[in-house]
Amino acid sequence: MVTNAPSRTARQHPFIRLLLASGVAAASVLVATPQQAQADDDGKDGGKNVLTVAVSQSVDSLSPFLAQRLLSTSLHRLMYDYLTNYDAKDAHAIPGLATEWKSSPDKLTWTYTIRKDSKWSDGKQATAEDAAWTFNKMMTDENAATSNGSFTANFKKVTAPDPETLVIELKKPQATMTALDVPIVPKHVWEKVGDFSKFNNDKQFPIVGNGPYILTDFKVDQYVKLKPNKGFWRGAPKFDELVFKYYKDGDAAVAALQKGEVSFVSGLTPAQAASLKSAKNIKVNDAPGRRFFALATNPGAQSKDGKKFGSGHAALLDPAVRKALFHAVDRETIIDKVFQGHAVEGEGYIPPRFASYFWQPAPEQKIDYDPAKAAALLDQAGYKKNSSGKRAGKDGKPLDFRILCHATDPNDKAIGKYLQEWWGELGIGLKVDCLDNVSDPWVAGDYDLAFDGWSVNPDPDFVLSIHTCAALPATPKDTGATDNFICDKAFDELYAKQAVEYDPAKRAELVKQMESRLYDTGYMNVMAYPNAVEAYRTDQIKSITTMPEAGGNIYGQDGYWSWWSAVPAGDGGSSDSGSSTVAVAVGIGAVAVLAAGLGLFVSRRRRATAEDRE
């Protein structure tokens, strides 16, 4: 769940620094067992062209109704078609399972034309009935709505009057109707499932789907194997097999890349990226990131039925304490010393890559690094230092906090040490709990603070929805869709307004007000927007599509473009996909400005750091 530099540099506007940075992104924080790729060093296995991707994140579920981690949701993009997709160049909405769509004048009825040339991998035709069944299941079974329920909460009725027509009736207008990030599943397979809360879709292979790849084998924390769907309507992938191999240790993954045992590695550290830049047959891609890296503060875990649970420190319910902590976080040092310049200082919830929604606080609102002000805030709020230099509350309890840290993430550990130093000077203790599994204590509310992060999409609806009261678990025994148990009436009112606003500029302004509210409440302290730094073998991969194509990332895209478009080295032809396939450039190119609004398809950036939140 929770989650996802030797020299000081001059401060620059975050977007300018993002364009100028060239280095490393925060590592994806995942739990896995080291495994060596079975392919030969030339990327071939028994004469097959095998594209092997090193990962360190566990699959939380192969059920698209339950999965929330980035690896899992990326797999579902490969396995199932969605109604619409993102264009790789500029992220405008393009056909997926639906070839076209239109709305009624009042925007309350949307009609999608379902393509005739999509078949499930077992040979059956994919129809509007499959889509209608998928959405209706989410509308009537709360377990089926675990991952993507925010998209269907406003649906009134979904029908399929014929195999090629899907009709969605809404309770009120909904701005994400060309951005429904929901995998469409085959009704004839899934209608046999009983308990959707327990079915992980991992018992029978190959798994029936209609995406560019078919999942053929899976072993927990070892590998995921997929083969091309030869009947995929957009064209079959070029590689004979796609394998995601697990490496708990990042250095082991890099060593495997150097030896040719894997084709691709993401989440490189500065040292790893530097060591690979001069390596033979290896290309490093350094791109503006779509993630934020944050401190999440426990606001008091609660469920929809009003019950409190967990063991969060009561002092963190005091806004003065939260603000003091954030005044004692030196973002510049984090960028320079931890990310070594290969990140942008964080403020708003949406990274600068998404220019329409990027927000910065006004000067009078900004919480700057100011230890003296932090100390004054604590003094004024009654948290005085005792004779031992420790601060305590009015109840006499010392301000000793815990922070959840991912054991596999060097950034968590490094920043944790800085926080211990900075907050220690204030008289506040901090225990850094670095765990392989941060999900269990996070869901149980047994934390004070946690390192958090999400990969954000062109449409921000999902990452905003996880901070609404509606995302809270139904009871303390449930998990819900919440990121951090935030339930704020003012935030919810703004969320409701942006959800029905079709005018891009007006909607963007509402989203910025939501970011401002998150910032002011102090429950989420966005510290950085890390770059995406990754590398691949040019003697195994001839070309591959980045997203956006101008200086974009390869791993964790808002679509299936990278792995679908990849061309094996030695392949004399180019992709027959009908979509552009480009060689990945080293360094950062121009950032494509992603327009916000009705025409964009949202591929939900899933939790990146909480075990890893996409």
Q: Sign of torsion, CA 244 250 255 257?
A: positive
Cβ neighbours of residue 488 closer than 8 Å, sequence gap 6 or more = 467, 469, 517, 521
The pLDDT mean for the chain works out to 86
pLDDT tens figures, 380-395? 999 999 888 999 987 8
Cβ neighbours of residue 568 closer than 8 Å, sequence gap 6 or more = 43, 49, 51, 238, 239, 540, 541, 542
CATH number of 85-190: 3.90.76.10
For position 46, what pLDDT does the model report?
64
Q: How many other C-beta atoms are found inside a 10 Å radius of the C-beta of residue 586? A: 12
Look up tokens 């949307």; give the residue: 110
For position 593, what pLDDT does the model report?
29
For position 513, what pLDDT does the model report?
98
For position 455, what pLDDT does the model report?
86
Residue 214 has pLDDT above 60, yes or no: yes
Residue 592 has pLDDT above 70, yes or no: no
DSSP element (H, E) containing 189: helix 187-190
For position 609, what pLDDT does the model report?
37
For position 481, what pLDDT does the model report?
87
User: Confidence band (pLDDT; 50, 70, 90) for 43?
Assistant: low
d(CA 28, CA 26): 6
Beta-bridge partners for 48 = 45
Residue 23 has pLDDT above 50, yes or no: no
pLDDT tens figures, 481-511? 899 999 999 999 999 999 999 999 999 999 9
For position 394, what pLDDT does the model report?
78
User: Confidence band (pLDDT; 50, 70, 90) for 18?
Assistant: very low
**What are the strands, taking DSSP E only, across 250-398?**
264-266, 282-287, 293-297, 343-345
Q: In what order do the strands lie in the sheet with 155-162?
A: 98-103, 109-114, 165-170, 155-162
pLDDT tens figures, 553-576? 999 898 999 999 999 998 754 433
Contact 526, 347 (CB under 8 A): yes
Six token digits for residue 474 = 């139904």
Beta-bridge partners for 213 = 228
Mean per-residue pLDDT for 587-597?
30
pLDDT tens figures, 243-292? 999 998 899 999 999 999 999 999 998 889 999 999 999 999 999 888 99
For position 409, what pLDDT does the model report?
86
Mean per-residue pLDDT for 119-127?
98
Nearest CA to 149 among 474, 445, 439?
474
The bridge status of strand 400-406 relative to strand 429-435 is parallel
pLDDT tens figures, 63-74? 999 998 889 999
Q: Which residues in 251-280 are b (16+ Cβ under 10 Å) and which e?
A: ebbbbbbbebbbbbbbbbbbebbebbeeee
Domain residue extents for the chain: 85-190
Residue 21 has pLDDT above 60, yes or no: no
For position 396, what pLDDT does the model report?
83
Mean per-residue pLDDT for 333-358?
93
The bridge status of strand 532-537 relative to strand 524-530 is unpaired
Mean per-residue pLDDT for 412-421?
97
d(CA 236, CA 219): 25
Give the range among 174-188, 272-286, 523-537, 564-578 with minimum mean pLDDT: 564-578
Helix axes 504-521, 489-499, angle to 10 degrees: 160
Whole-prediction pTM: 0.77
Percent of the chain with pLDDT over 70: 86
Residue 8 has pLDDT above 60, yes or no: no
User: Confidence band (pLDDT; 50, 70, 90) for 341?
Assistant: confident
More confident residue, 464 or 341: 464
Contact 175, 461 (CB under 8 A): yes
Residue 125 is classified by DSSP as B
Mean per-residue pLDDT for 9-15?
31
Give the range among 41-45, 307-311, 493-497 with minimum mean pLDDT: 41-45
For position 68, what pLDDT does the model report?
86
More confident residue, 431 or 19: 431
